[in-house]
Structure 1
Amino acid sequence: MAGTPVHSIAVVQGAAVIDDVDQNLSTLATLVGEAAERGADVVVTPELFATGYAAERAWRHDGAAIRAALADIARKAAVSVVASSVDAAPSGPGEASAHRIAASVFSATGAEALRIHKRHLFGEVEKEWMTPGDAYAQPFEWRNTKWGVGVCYDVEFPEFARAQALAGADVLLVPTAVPVVEEGVDGLGEAWHYSSSLIARLQVPARALENGVVIAYANHCGPGFTGGSCIATPFGRLAARLGADPGVAVVDVPVAAIRAARRVNTYLPDLSVALGDEPTPAGS
């Protein structure tokens, strides 16, 4: 694996307090600082953590000021940070601003290198108060690796991860906020019971496997949330998974191992052949 990059990627999770931006930013600073001390190059934080996850209230806070504070956290820890805020962006020429759930990538110097908008809104509250992103964002290149960014519900759609992989992404960075949902059909046993904890345990590793990517998925913990922040490998396994408590997980990701996984499972080039497109090299 000599000559290819190795990235140290972290996911952090904590319990946010609705509307207590100062406290939440302090919590994030502590978690990001711990990840940086443990050698992380990139730290993924949960969706709308600074405001607390409440779409009907998050837009009332100053998104630009929150992003400035998040940039300062990245600068002080000297590590790249992926963090979420509400972006008041114009819907179109001459139109009023629309509120969108955003994820930003802040460099270790505190510069906002990228901002994307959540494409798939979850639940009636988000749909009432937020506007979806127009399209999946294109991956960006950093340290000889391509990185894709989405938010929460995006990763539950196969189209998101596939679009990122087809655009060349090696690693997907996903802030999330997964509430506890336990629903089933009475009398039919566990096989007929849904748990939202399956997203981290089942869907995220499956997306990583079928697209040959690493996925770093950072969730809230505490009352009402599933925790379980994780880092999935392109071999369909979890390299790290946090439990129900606040914490930090750091995983070294050799890009050569991503290439190796794509030689084992040649889904993307085989899909191209089946669709009559130009094949993608298996090791790319």
Structure 2
Amino acid sequence: MITQIIYQHKNRKGMGNMIAAVIQMNCEPGNIRKNVAAARDFIRKAADKGAEWAVLPELFQTGYLLGGRDREYAGPVPGGEALCWMEETAREFGIMLTGGIIEEQGGKLYDTAVTVSQHGLLGAYRKIHLWGGEKERFTPGNDTGTPMDCGNWKIGMQICYEAGFPEGARLQVLKGANALAYVAAFGAARAEVWDLATRARALENGCYVLASDRCGTEPCGTKFAGRSRIVAPDGTILAQVEEGEGIAVAKLELSNIQQQRAVLPYLKDLRTDLIAAAWQKWANGSERG
């Protein structure tokens, strides 16, 4: 199981209400030095604004499409150059970071989201639902994930296309998550899906969603949607980067989670017994169309 708690994180403010940021950046495929320099600058700006947690896009260090060179830029988790850079940067700015990297384990490559603090790796999540050509590049994960215990905050991770799969988010929340991080390289051609899905995942689960997407266009012509945002538990967009590079910062308040879950008690009223039984029947083939 890849998801694991390496360190029970306590930040400098005790993890009550928290200032968080999402980073929207363009990435040059294969130009690690340029990409991490840009990421570091955005992280510094987020920390200067008081952010205690910042979320970076999917494959932010390498760029998204690497022309068959994925293995060249992959590394193990824990360890590996990409993860070490994140840990060093988290220590430098005293901040928690979430971002997407290419993981290599046992000869297999994974599209993986990781979260680190200044004390080291907190957890990792391998993308389960692979989009299009990703199926030829990566091995899908086989663990739905466990939220990271960060004091009063329980943080779950999802990746890009998975914004459209409510099951993963709901499972994380049922396990205790009150904030979900989505690292993404979501295409501009389906920007309206990103808009709807990120707000829906927050509303239906009564949790915060921090969704960091790429911007710009890669040499192959793939254009990214941007619209990185922080969404409140009632589906309201608290902060968003509209176009181009930038950061969005907002305050996450625990009381808003409690209030929203009282107003719309989806989690309380969810018939987990019935749903679990129905899924089991479907998995066994007895209720398939």
What's the TM-score, normalizing by structure 2? 0.83
Which amino acid counterpart does residue 267 of structure 1 have in structure 2? Y
Selected match of 2:124 from 115, 121, 126: 115
Per-residue CA shift, 1:88-131, capped at 9, x if unaligned?
Answer: 123xxxxxx2100111111034x1121111111111x2100100
Q: 1:242 Cα shift?
A: 0.9
Per-residue CA shift, 1:68-105, capped at 9, x if unaligned?
Answer: 11221211121111011111123xxxxxx210011111
CA distance in 2, matches of 1:199, 1:89: 32
The equivalent of 1:37 in structure 2 is 48
Q: 1:24 Cα shift?
A: 0.3
Per-residue CA shift, 1:184-217, capped at 9, x if unaligned?
Answer: xxxxxxxxxxxx1113321110111011111100
Work out the number of aligned pairs and report it. 253
Structure 2 residue 82 is matched with structure 1 residue 88: no
Checking the alignment, whether the CA contact within 8 Å between 2:186 and 2:194 is kept in structure 1 is: no
CA distance in 2, matches of 1:238, 1:274: 33
Checking the alignment, whether the CA contact within 8 Å between 1:86 and 1:100 is kept in structure 2 is: yes
CA distance in 2, matches of 1:14, 1:164: 27
Q: Structure 1 regions of 5+ residues with no counterpart?
A: 91-96, 182-195, 278-284
Selected match of 1:11 from 7, 13, 22: 22
Q: Structure 2 regions of 5+ residues with no counterpart?
A: 1-13, 218-222, 277-289
For residues 195-234 of structure 1, the aligned pairs below 5 Å read: 196-223=190-217, 224-234=223-233
SS at match of 1:68: helix
Checking the alignment, whether the CA contact within 8 Å between 1:4 and 1:256 is kept in structure 2 is: no
The equivalent of 2:176 in structure 1 is 168
For residues 68-79 of structure 1, the aligned pairs below 5 Å read: 68-79=84-95
Q: 1:62 Cα shift?
A: 4.1
Structure 2 residue 115 is matched with structure 1 residue 105: yes
SS at match of 2:196: helix
CA distance in 2, matches of 1:89, 1:257: 39
SS at match of 2:146: coil
**Identical positions, percent:** 31
The equivalent of 1:246 in structure 2 is 245
Q: 1:274 Cα shift?
A: 7.7
CA distance in 1, matches of 2:55, 2:15: 22
Per-residue CA shift, 1:250-278, capped at 9, x if unaligned?
Answer: 1101111111000000111111378399x
CA distance in 2, matches of 1:77, 1:15: 22
The equivalent of 2:72 in structure 1 is 60
Checking the alignment, whether the CA contact within 8 Å between 1:50 and 1:85 is kept in structure 2 is: yes
Q: 1:4 Cα shift?
A: 8.6
Which amino acid counterpart does residue 112 of structure 2 have in structure 1? A
Q: 1:14 Cα shift?
A: 0.8
Q: 1:7 Cα shift?
A: 1.1
CA distance in 2, matches of 1:274, 1:18: 46
Per-residue CA shift, 1:115-158, capped at 9, x if unaligned?
Answer: 111111111x2100100110211111102221111111122101
Which amino acid counterpart does residue 256 of structure 2 have in structure 1? A
SS at match of 1:136: coil
Deviates more, 1:35-44 or 1:139-148: 139-148
Checking the alignment, whether the CA contact within 8 Å between 1:47 and 1:85 is kept in structure 2 is: yes
Which amino acid counterpart does residue 213 of structure 1 have in structure 2? C
CA distance in 2, matches of 1:226, 1:262: 30
SS at match of 2:270: helix
SS at match of 1:106: strand
SS at match of 2:85: helix
Q: 1:26 Cα shift?
A: 0.3
What's the TM-score, normalizing by structure 1? 0.85
SS at match of 1:105: strand
CA distance in 2, matches of 1:62, 1:171: 28
Checking the alignment, whether the CA contact within 8 Å between 1:51 and 1:61 is kept in structure 2 is: yes
Which amino acid counterpart does residue 233 of structure 1 have in structure 2? A
The equivalent of 2:57 in structure 1 is 46
The equivalent of 1:270 in structure 2 is 269
Q: 1:57 Cα shift?
A: 2.9
The equivalent of 1:190 in structure 2 is none
Which amino acid counterpart does residue 96 of structure 2 have in structure 1? S
